[in-house]
Amino acid sequence: MADNRINREQTTREKTTRKKAWQRPEVLPSPTPEPGYEFHWVRVATLGQIDATNVSSKLREGWEPVKAVDHPEITMVTVEQEKFADNVVIGGLMLCKAPKELVEERNDYFGEQSKAQINSVDNNLMRENDPRMPLFNDRQSKVTFGNGT
């Protein structure tokens, strides 16, 4: 046996890891996740002008503003506006939350809306179909990988 080998307990993985590359920090910080809730940034102002219509529509949809005291990890970078002083507001966007069930129902609703629009376009396209030159409406895609040769 070789006597000059380094003991396995003395070697650490940290010494052999690659140096982390610099990456741009995220513009909007992510809040600490809460079970049963989804977070969303809602526009409250554009170019310094308050957007009351957007805020009121989001509140009617079920989004509720997040209080700054509930997420102290974000409040140290918050630029407060006087109207939303108690909430988390950064760069004209206010952090809001809603129950996951409500968010899933909303996504299902808009999914059905987009399917109906696609069907309408398809029906309009197929109305122009002629047996002498048929139109194909193939909305399938597949991913293939190279065979490595």
Give CA torsion, residues 129, 130, 132, 134, to 10 deg: 10
In a domain, 80, yes or no: yes
Least confident of 77-86, 90-99, 128-137: 77-86
In a domain, 52, yes or no: yes
pLDDT band at 99 (very low <50, low <70, confident <90, very high): very high
Give the chain's count of helices (H) and strands (E): 3, 6
pLDDT confidence of residue 112: 95
- Measured CA to CA in angstroms, residue 107 lies from 37, 113, 116 at distances of 15, 10, 14
In a domain, 70, yes or no: yes
pLDDT band at 111 (very low <50, low <70, confident <90, very high): very high
Mean pLDDT of 84-97: 83
How confident is the prediction for the chain on average, in pLDDT? Answer: 80
Q: State how far the Cα of 98 lies from the Cα of 63, in Å rounded to an integer.
A: 5
pTM of this prediction exceeds 0.85: no
In a domain, 134, yes or no: no
The number of distinct structural domains making up the chain is: 1
In a domain, 27, yes or no: no
Domain that holds residue 71: 37-99
Give CA torsion, residues 15, 18, 21, 26, to 10 deg: -70
In a domain, 43, yes or no: yes
The pLDDT > 70 percentage for the chain reads: 79
In a domain, 124, yes or no: no
Q: State how far the Cα of 42 lies from the Cα of 28, in Å rounded to an integer.
A: 12
In a domain, 122, yes or no: no
Is residue 34 predicted with pLDDT exceeding 70?
yes
